[in-house]
Amino acid sequence: MAQYLCLSLSGVGGDRLNYYYYYFFVFIFYIPEDRLVPTLPLRLNYILWIEDLLNAIEKINNIWGLDIGTGACAVYPLLAARKNKWHMIGTETDDISFQKAEENVKRNHLQDLIEVRKNLTSSVIEQLFEDEFKQVFDFSMCNPPFYSSVQELCESRSPARLPPKNGFTGSPQELITEGGELQFCRKYLKESKIYKDKVLIYTTMVGHKYNLKELLQDLKLEGITHTYTEFCQGRVTRWGLAWTYQDFDIFQLVPPRDQPRKKHAPIVYLLPQIPNIPYNVDNVINKLIIILNTLNIYHKVLNKRGNNIILDVTATTNTWSNQRRKRRLMKKLETNDCKKTKIDHTEYTTSSTEDSNSNETLNETNHFEKSIHATLKDEDNDLKPHTSSNDKETVPVIEPIVHAILKVLKKENDILMEMEYLDGSAGKEGLHQIVQYIKNNWK
């Protein structure tokens, strides 16, 4: 992938003037301070994949594309028009982004190939075709908002991951949508079924792998021809999803580039009712979260529908092993603490010889206590990532011990827990140990 140079200067009204030199292309962007700044390599990956799709259906000339939510930069239409001379329509709902997108198209002298249209509705593509727009598009593309709320945005990054290299930008309109990325894509898919013949190949970018899995399942259930790919650019991974209602076998012509992960059968456990606590999904989830917090296992809600909830769980240290041994050590420690108290009480009534003996006992107790804490500490330290003294100011890369999907499902009068192993150094055995810990502490 060729490199690009971005020269950014302060503009009028707080805008940034950005010159992008990419391959032999020059782009000039005026970007408001609170809007997303596009990284061109990832965007170009998306365009190149669409080229593959169009080549697969032997569509070479007079290409028309639709960019849904084009943004202030109109980066996809600009790339497509400058690189491939494609005709592009970009839609935008936000007033400021719409205005800046039009200005950026004019600044780059591409008005003959690009048109920006204002979407005044809450639909994804419906408004475009309801206006008796007769153009049939060869493809559509979309980079939807990832999050359903500000809270989800803030909690989206696992502490086990390295921080992003680029600065955080973006307005709420660009980052947040009702129901999040999954619901937006499902709405897009639903509308596409109404306008099957208006777009030859529908595509979207997907930011969360779980959402890709759900959308692939939706397409399979509907019997819709589809394919997908993976975009890897530095630390960023995204997925491209394409589907069509035409007689194109795009899965065979453009098969997925990444190998689907090997599926593991989930571990299923019927969660019994805890005495004196109402047996419902909310109470079950609360109990599970308490246990996960006790084990210092990171967890994030991926989806919640009615009586079903799905969590992404990541363990970076083994906090569940040797629980019996630790309990025995702590019990022995408590016993010695009692002896210590008894010795302190008898110090005032015993002779100096006995006092000397009690001091020896106390020393032994203190030595024993230190050895227990040292043992437990050593066990924890063995599982933590080691960093050299020169790396004190860097963030260590923490590989997960267990990474899994946890589902809570209500079936008739029962509540089930399913845990599916994804990856991690402890393997499936580590997941079995976590499930066993949950069983032992379900009371």
Decide the pairing of beta strands 402-411 and 25-31.
Answer: unpaired
Angle, helices 352-383/323-346, rounded to nearest 10 degrees: 160
| Three-class DSSP category at 7 | strand
CATH of residue 404's domain is: 3.30.310.80
Do residues 242 and 135 both lie within one domain?
Answer: yes
What's residue 219's pLDDT?
Answer: 93
One-letter amino acid identity for 371? S
Per the domain annotation, does 214 fall within a domain?
yes
Q: Which of 135, 442, 93, 94 is nearest to 270 (CA)?
A: 442
Q: Which of 13, 89, 1, 85 is nearest to 41 (CA)?
A: 1
Check residue 255 and report its DSSP letter. -
Do residues 430 and 340 both lie within one domain?
Answer: no
Total domains in the fold of the chain: 3
* Total Cβ atoms within 10 A of residue 181: 23
Per the domain annotation, does 350 fall within a domain?
yes
Do residues 69 and 195 both lie within one domain?
Answer: yes
Asked if pLDDT for residue 413 goes beyond 50, the answer is yes
Do residues 403 and 424 both lie within one domain?
Answer: yes
- How do residues 94-139 score in pLDDT, each as one tens digit? 888 899 899 989 989 999 999 999 998 889 999 888 766 788 999 9
| Three-class DSSP category at 91 | strand
DSSP bridge partners of 42: none
CATH of residue 225's domain is: 3.40.50.150
Q: How far is CA 320 from the centre of its chain?
A: 26
Do residues 334 and 244 both lie within one domain?
Answer: no
What's residue 336's pLDDT?
Answer: 66
What's residue 30's pLDDT?
Answer: 67
Per the domain annotation, does 213 fall within a domain?
yes
Per the domain annotation, does 355 fall within a domain?
yes
Do residues 122 and 234 both lie within one domain?
Answer: yes
Query: Is-contact 59 200, C-beta < 8 A?
Result: yes
Do residues 345 and 419 both lie within one domain?
Answer: no
Q: Token pair of 319, please?
A: 């906090």
Range of the domain at 222: 39-154+169-253
Tokens 């080229």, located at residue:
51
DSSP bridge partners of 269: 417
Torsion over CA: 39, 41, 44, 45 (sign) = negative
Average pLDDT over residues 2-13: 42
Query: Is-contact 175 110, C-beta < 8 A?
Result: no
**Alpha carbons 20 and 78: distance in angstroms, whole number:** 12
Instruction: State which of 196, 223, 253 marks the end of a domain.
Output: 253
Per the domain annotation, does 389 fall within a domain?
no
Per the domain annotation, does 227 fall within a domain?
yes
Do residues 289 and 404 both lie within one domain?
Answer: yes
Per the domain annotation, does 26 fall within a domain?
no
Do residues 200 and 140 both lie within one domain?
Answer: yes
Q: Token pair of 82, please?
A: 């400058």
Do residues 247 and 274 both lie within one domain?
Answer: no
Do residues 314 and 332 both lie within one domain?
Answer: no
Q: Which of 136, 119, 140 is nearest to 128 (CA)?
A: 119
Per the domain annotation, does 161 fall within a domain?
no
Beta carbons within 8 Å of 307's beta carbon, 6+ residues apart: 281, 409, 410
- How do residues 312-368 score in pLDDT, each as one tens digit? 999 999 998 876 666 677 677 766 666 555 555 554 444 444 444 545 444 544 444
What does the DSSP assignment read for 301-361? EEEEETTEEEEEEEESS--STTHHHHHHHHHHHHHHHHHHHHHHHHTTTS-HHHHHHHHHH
Q: Which of 79, 85, 74 is nearest to 113 (CA)?
A: 85
Do residues 249 and 280 both lie within one domain?
Answer: no
